[in-house]
Structure 1
Amino acid sequence: MSYSGEFLLHLTQKCKKLQKQMKQIHSLIITNGHLHQHQNVPSSSLSLPWMPTLLYNALISAYHIHNHNKALSIFTHMLANQAPPNSHTFPPLLKISPLPLGATLHSQTLKRGLLSDGFILTTLLALYARNHLLPHARMVFEEFPMFCIVACNAMINAFSMNGDMEAAVALFERMPRRDVFSWTTVVDGFALKGNFGASIRFFRNMMNHKDVVAGLVKPNEATCSSVLSSCANLDGKAALDWGKQVHGYVVMNEVKLGVFVGTSLIHLYGKMGCLSNAENVFRVMVVREVCTWNAMISSLASHGREKNALDMFDRMKLHGLKPNSITFAAVLTACARGNLVREGLDLFRSMWYDFGIEPNLKHYGCVIDLLGRAGHIEEAAEIIRNMPFQPDASVLGAFLGACRIHGAIELGEEIGKNMLRLQTQHSGQYVLLSSMNAEKERWDRAANLRREIMEAGIQKIPAYSMLHLT
């Protein structure tokens, strides 16, 4: 059966997110000869001479979602068959291309006179930004035909991705007009850099700005989620108060309580110990993803409600959601804190056998903590000996702490010293081993460990105090 190019183009656009159907449509396009209409075909049979370019663009746009190599291969065929690329061809390719190929595509756009297209310029700018080439991103920014809000937002995002928040704010302040994306990009940029206080302060400036007061700009789900995450990463009543104010704004202004805002609220309230607030948010959420359940499980596990955390884990599975590595870190933490040894070991085994998740160092640390708290020091030591990678400071700390509590000094020293020979900079673990020997009045061994610290040139990190000023 023969299909027109228009019909197949419509199908491609409708089904581009469906991988299996796209392969079938691609086959139909090839067998109906629509990608080669311009070659050796009588002009009377060409209903739309530009149809090959449209079909190639549609295929590239579809395949770039789920098969990057296929999208690039189709572009190669497009050039080989002399179908001329246009401004719609390059943006999806630039989004998926590694830097060398992206630079080649940049040359192609220049050669074909397409660099005046704002969409191409924006994706080029993003290409250089994600590859940490700010000078190249700046040069692309200067190619924009006008100082428009889209170009400025893209450049602010480039600065933010690369940690240059001074330049991001400077450009933001030069903009004659800003939208919600301008504000959100800066708020999120400070958060990405770890400057959570600055993120909250910039959001506060946003809420007091005349455009927001007048209703010309309104914080959206991304804005609220970003500032809530910043609040959760700070300690103290001020951060919690700001989080509650953002929550109030979400409720009063009917901002969508989607997955990101809801999960950020649960994380904030859970970290601050406001479990009833976290549970209320979880209860009213219409859509919950795995990250939402993870936040709730972690909140319960961190505040003495280990059984509830495991019940939540079971509920999550009943809802048809597949746990990920973060889920298992949360439930294993709950088992360790609740002294639920059998349940924890069963969960650890089920990670790979039932869900195909390879345990990482965090999971091993939780199991060591679980066994150590319960006094199963030998079992914990055996796991450390057979781990597929070297334990880090958290694993050693959990194990040595358990040895200290349960008086297993010799075993702690055996495992600890073997590991510390490979990781000489863990000064805290050296000090812990030394203190364990000193408590048992084994002064010579304690002194030897202190001497090893000095001879290795290891510096103890000095303690410090910090105040949050508002």
Structure 2
Amino acid sequence: MMFSPESLLQLLQRFIKKSIQIKQIHSVLITNGNLSIPNPYSFQWATTLYYNTLIRAYLNIHLPQTTLLLFTHMLSHNIPLNAHTFPSIAKAAAASNITPNKPLYTQALKRGVLADPFVRTSFIHLYAETGDLFSARNLFDEMPEPCTVSSNALLDGFCKYGDMDSAFLFFESMPMKDVYSWTSVVNGFVKKECYDRAIGSFQQMVMQRFSGDCVVRPNEATFVSVLSACANCSGIVGLLYGKQIHGYIIKNEAGVSAFVGTALIDLYGKTDGLEYAMRVFGRLVNKEVCAWNAIMGALASNGKEKEALDVFDKMKVGNWRPNEVTFVAVLSACARAELVELGLQIFNSMLSRFGVVPGMKHYGCVVDLLGRAGFVEEANEFIRTMPFEADASVLGALLGACKLHGVVDLGVEVAKKLYKMQPQECGQYMLLSSIYAEKENWEHATSSRNVMVDAGFQKPPAYSTVNATVCN
């Protein structure tokens, strides 16, 4: 069946986000010869239009490598490129983390399309996404009238790569700030573990409300980022701020989405607010897998391991499919409750029943499960059977088990391995010293601490918090 060029183009545009249809139409275009130019002076821009639409379509269905392959076909077949070609290509390169980016930029420069603000903004985004902030800044500074979108692209690059000093200075200089600008700053401070500044930026955003003629309101991503900051604040401060933000959401939003609900559950689970976490979970209209994972983690970390496992059973009855994070939460609950047999059954069912391939975290959970219950040698043997080399987290779980049960010789062996992996970490020295001390081997205990001191390591000072209850 033959299609006219116009009908094929209409089909492409209609099914631009449908994977199967896009591939079928692509095949028809190849078969009909629409992606080649028999006469270099005829139908050139029609062919370019086909390629541009295909490029955008494959980017929409999350196949950036195919997008880039189409671009190379355009170059090899001398298909004319235009200003509509490069934004999608730059996004595909950013999604694929392609470096270096200079050849793409050179192609755009060669064809004189960099004057187009959309093209220039797409290259700012590409450079910022791949960590070339110097080039991104230079491109931005060359723009005669940079828009908020191009400003956000550069700002997001600063935040993503942790240059929050430059990010905040640039943010302050922006004449217009939208919700994406504020969210980038909040998220950037969270990544740098500057949680108080993340919360402060959110509060400033809410109080300001307007940027020029633009009304600025937090979106789902903003709430998730700031609630993460609250969850990681020490003491009661995070809980107080989190409750305030929760109140703001209830007052100003139509409802609590699954992702915001997950962030709230995580917050309350980490700040002694388990009752609130349960209430949020119970009221969620759409319980995505992430929300189930969060409530299981909250229950397990607050001493409610069996309740967490009950939630896991309810999740399966409700036909929710567990993922990698689910099994970390469930295996951690089994480890805390020392339910060795059940934990091993669940671990062995991951691949066979649920199609989830166990990763390093899952193996670490099993080592913790066996180690806590006193099966230290079995945990060591389990590590030997792993399909990959154990990382520091897995060995750390084994070393913790050695300390807990006073297994000195194996503890020394594991500590030496950890030292080779992480020579700058003082934790293994502290644990090893504790193992020796509990066996009253004071000479070796002192020696371990002296090694740490001689290397210039310092144990972080301990602190305590007091949760004050105010009574009327």
TM-score by length of 2: 0.87
SS in 1 for 2:365: helix
Shift of 1:420: 5.3
- 2:248 and 2:213 mapped to 1: Cα distance? 15
List runs of 5+ in structure 2 lacking aligned partners: 466-472
User: 1:174-223 CA distances to partner (integer Å, 9 max, x unpaired)?
Assistant: 22232222222211221122211111011111122252899822112121
Change (3 A) 1:156 1:101: closer
The match for 2:260 is 261
Change (3 A) 1:439 1:300: closer
Within the alignment, does 1:23 sit opposite 2:23 as a pair?
A: yes
Aligned counterpart in structure 2 of residue 451 of structure 1, from 441, 447, 457: 447
Aligned counterpart in structure 1 of residue 458 of structure 2, from 435, 444, 461: 461
The match for 2:49 is 54
- 1:263 and 1:376 mapped to 2: Cα distance? 35
Within the alignment, does 1:70 sit opposite 2:69 as a pair?
A: no
Look up the equivalent residue of 1:221 and give its one-letter code: E
Shift of 1:147: 3.4
Contact 1:427 1:459 in 2 (8 A): no
- 1:270 and 1:410 mapped to 2: Cα distance? 37
Moved more, 150-159 or 430-439: 430-439
Within the alignment, does 1:136 sit opposite 2:135 as a pair?
A: yes
SS in 2 for 1:50: helix
- 1:417 and 1:254 mapped to 2: Cα distance? 51
Shift of 1:404: 4.5
User: 1:446-467 CA distances to partner (integer Å, 9 max, x unpaired)?
Assistant: 4246436646854553231469
Contact 2:179 2:217 in 1 (8 A): yes
Look up the equivalent residue of 2:72 and give its one-letter code: T
The match for 2:196 is 197
SS in 2 for 1:146: coil
Contact 1:190 1:196 in 2 (8 A): yes
Shift of 1:330: 0.9
Contact 2:128 2:153 in 1 (8 A): no
Change (3 A) 1:417 1:86: closer
SS in 1 for 2:35: helix
Look up the equivalent residue of 1:4 and give its one-letter code: S
Contact 1:206 1:212 in 2 (8 A): no
- 2:49 and 2:17 mapped to 1: Cα distance? 17
The match for 2:470 is none
Change (3 A) 1:72 1:236: same
Shift of 1:10: 2.1
The 5 A counterparts of 1:202-241 are 202-209=201-208, 211=210, 216-241=215-240
- 1:246 and 1:418 mapped to 2: Cα distance? 46
Shift of 1:50: 3.2
Contact 1:428 1:460 in 2 (8 A): no
The match for 2:468 is none
- 2:373 and 2:351 mapped to 1: Cα distance? 24
The 5 A counterparts of 1:38-187 are 39-40=38-39, 50-64=45-59, 65-97=61-93, 98-100=97-99, 102-187=101-186
SS in 2 for 1:92: helix
The number of aligned residues is 459
- 1:174 and 1:165 mapped to 2: Cα distance? 14
SS in 2 for 1:159: helix
- 1:450 and 1:4 mapped to 2: Cα distance? 84
- 2:71 and 2:387 mapped to 1: Cα distance? 43
Contact 1:187 1:223 in 2 (8 A): yes
Moved more, 174-183 or 112-121: 174-183
The 5 A counterparts of 1:309-458 are 309-389=308-388, 391-392=390-391, 394-410=393-409, 412-413=411-412, 415-416=413-414, 419=417, 422-423=420-421, 425=423, 427-441=426-440, 443=441, 446-448=442-444, 450-451=446-447, 454=450, 457-458=454-455
The match for 1:275 is 274
TM-score by length of 1: 0.87
Change (3 A) 1:195 1:31: same
SS in 2 for 1:34: coil
Look up the equivalent residue of 2:69 and give its one-letter code: S
Change (3 A) 1:136 1:84: same
Change (3 A) 1:106 1:320: farther
Contact 1:221 1:256 in 2 (8 A): no
The match for 1:247 is 246
Look up the equivalent residue of 1:96 and give its one-letter code: A
Shift of 1:280: 2.3
- 1:306 and 1:142 mapped to 2: Cα distance? 55
Contact 2:87 2:122 in 1 (8 A): yes
- 2:235 and 2:449 mapped to 1: Cα distance? 36
Contact 1:180 1:218 in 2 (8 A): yes
Shift of 1:424: 7.5
SS in 1 for 2:331: helix
User: 1:339-381 CA distances to partner (integer Å, 9 max, x unpaired)?
Assistant: 2111101122223333444433332332222122222233223
Within the alignment, does 1:14 sit opposite 2:10 as a pair?
A: no
List runs of 5+ in structure 1 lacking aligned partners: none
Contact 1:149 1:178 in 2 (8 A): yes
SS in 2 for 1:66: coil
- 1:75 and 1:431 mapped to 2: Cα distance? 56
The 5 A counterparts of 1:296-315 are 296-315=295-314
